[in-house]
Amino acid sequence: MPRPLQVALIGAKFMGRAHSNAWRQAGCFFDLPRPIALHTIAARDAQELEAFAAQWGWPNWTVRWKDIAEDTSIDLVDIGTPNHVHKEQALAMLEAGKHVACEKPLASTLAEARDMKDAAKRAKGKTFVWFNYRRCPAVALAHQLVAEGRLGSIYHVRAHYLQSWGGPKTPLSWRFDKKRAGSGAHGDLNAHIVDMTRFVTGEEITEVHGAVARTFIKERVRPGSTAKRPGKGKSTVDDAVLFLASLTNGATASFEATRLAAGHQNRNSIEINGSKGSLRFDFEDMNVLWFHDETESPRTAGWRRIMCTNVAGQHPYAENWWPDAHVLGYEHGFTNMAADIVRALSRKKPTVALPDFASAYETQRVLEAALISAKERCAIKMREVR
């Protein structure tokens, strides 16, 4: 029996739950080359942390994340903290010889992302970034169909990530603080659709032609403020960022991220049009991929709704889960990724490519280009952004 992969996690909020679940489930649903052992969870609030550790099955917990770097029995450190601490934590873990899996976006600034990418290049450990949507079966299938040439030459990518939770009543949090988040909807949501575009098409972005960034809600209530003790603070990030771009093969691409699209809660969508057909994905119906084959007879051609959890259809990850069309949810993308990380660490092929720090740095360069374009009101060639 190979030695278990000892995993530690930093962060015990939303991503802490998603990642804890993934590390717990991966070994049950996947036949992995080595078992996974949950070792230590770290976060700031001792009281909450003890209960969190008990609930999610972490045998050890600490409020000093640096303890993890010092513990030689830990192999992989998963970072699920706010963006501005990714760099310090990742560098400490890489220097200690650990593998690192970091939440997206890679960092809050391009300079930090660059330092992380450079540190990863020097390090012994491998790096991974949680672009979890790559591992929805429908998105992985879209990637396979494009790679097989089913879309022919790609002309257009139309991607948007629409949420609505950021209205005026939403209180301040680190997500509205530029120093901690780096940006707002842009780094949080455009990061996903830029990565998804790069992943599904296999093309890189060469130029950002123009971008618009808007902060509609400039002040927000501080958490815990009451009618008696009202308190407001400034939101220093964008609520929405839109931009147009070109890809290496000359295709056009449009991106839109917003937290103010009333009626859309987690609409992470992409449509791709090529010479032989088109694909469409929307996370709010995440098990489905829409495919139009332009080479079919026009009599019967049309959009085909593919339920992407079909074992006989060899849909990515399908055989590890439930019988056909017993559908997957948000958490399965993370579990699929945890399984692929374990495979990659044992020199086995992941189901689809895993983004590392170098790849996430490329996505961060695109985000930076869009921010510069919005500020300077001009086009930015990607080779100008380093």
Residues that bind ligand SOE (CB under 6 A): 163, 188, 266
Comparison of 265 and 275: residue with beta carbon closer to ligand SOE: 265
Q: Which amino acid is at 140?
A: A
Closest CB to ligand SOE: residue number: 188
Comparison of 188 and 356: residue with beta carbon closer to ligand SOE: 188
Tokens found for residue 264: 């859309």
DSSP reduced 3-state for 36: strand
CB of residue 135 to ligand SOE, shortest distance in Å: 12
Comparison of 103 and 112: residue with beta carbon closer to ligand SOE: 103
* C-alpha pair distances (Å), 257 with each of 69, 183, 242: 36, 12, 6
CB of residue 280 to ligand SOE, shortest distance in Å: 19
Residues ≥6 apart with Cβ < 8 Å to 193: 159, 160, 161, 255, 257, 268, 270
Comparison of 206 and 266: residue with beta carbon closer to ligand SOE: 266
CB-based contact 354:128 (threshold 8 Å) = yes
CB of residue 266 to ligand SOE, shortest distance in Å: 6
> In 123-276, at which residue ranges do the beta strands (DSSP E only) sit?
127-129, 154-162, 205-214, 219-221, 232-234, 240-247, 252-258, 267-274
Q: How far is it, in rounded angstroms, from Cα 12 to Cα 100?
A: 17
CB of residue 233 to ligand SOE, shortest distance in Å: 19
How many alpha carbons lie under 13 Å from residue 327 in its C-beta half-sphere? 11
H-run or E-run covering 78:
strand 76-79
CB of residue 96 to ligand SOE, shortest distance in Å: 27
Tokens found for residue 233: 């603070």
CB of residue 166 to ligand SOE, shortest distance in Å: 8
Residue 159 CB neighbour total at 10 angstroms = 23
Q: Which residue has the tokens 């879309």?
A: 151
Comparison of 62 and 190: residue with beta carbon closer to ligand SOE: 190
Comparison of 177 and 188: residue with beta carbon closer to ligand SOE: 188
Q: Which residue has the tokens 């990642």?
A: 19
CB of residue 175 to ligand SOE, shortest distance in Å: 7
Name 159's bridge partners: 255, 270
Comparison of 123 and 270: residue with beta carbon closer to ligand SOE: 270
